[in-house]
Amino acid sequence: MKKYICKRKVNSGNQLKEATRKVAFYDWLKEREWEIPEVNCREEYTPKQAADILESGTETLKKYALLLEHNGHPVHRNARNHRVYNGIDIALIKAMIKLNREKSMPLEDAASKVTSSDVD
């Protein structure tokens, strides 16, 4: 499994904590042998493109994005205030879907789990 961690300069303790959380998240996925979509974390995807990658509809994708935002993971927006998704967003949503389908975990709980600092 390939890790899609954006390489960027870390300027503060909060950024280091966030980078560490993302690495832990991918390790957590790898331990469970979960696949994440083949996407580039730096590239931005429209809602339609992201929905196609996740094999879902755009309205369903919006629901997932709202759950992520509610749990503290901001989904970026473009100049027209439309959501744009990156590889991290797509991987988080994919993990939510797997937790929901394979572990019968409610989506709200799955969103909380994948966005928490404690991914164990």
Q: What percent of the chain has pLDDT over 70?
A: 62
Structural domain for 54, as ranges: 13-115
Q: What is the distance between the alpha carbons of residues 33 and 7, in angstroms, rounded to a whole number?
A: 23
What's the number of domains the chain is made of?
1
Q: Which two tokens stand for residue 22?
A: 């993302």
Instruction: Please check whether residue 6 lies inside any domain of the structure.
Output: no
Q: Can you state the percent helix, strand and coil of the chain, rounding each to 5?
A: 55, 5, 40
Q: Which two tokens stand for residue 69?
A: 């935002």
Question: Which region among 1-5, 53-57, 102-106 has the lowest average model confidence (pLDDT)?
Answer: 1-5
Q: Is 88 exposed, middle or buried (0-12, 13-18, 19+ CB in 10 A)?
A: buried
Instruction: Please check whether residue 51 lies inside any domain of the structure.
Output: yes
Q: What is the domain-level CATH number for residue 51?
A: 1.10.1660.10
Does the pTM surpass 0.75? The reply is no
Q: Tell me the pLDDT tens digit for each residue of 48-83.
A: 999 999 999 999 999 999 999 999 999 999 999 999
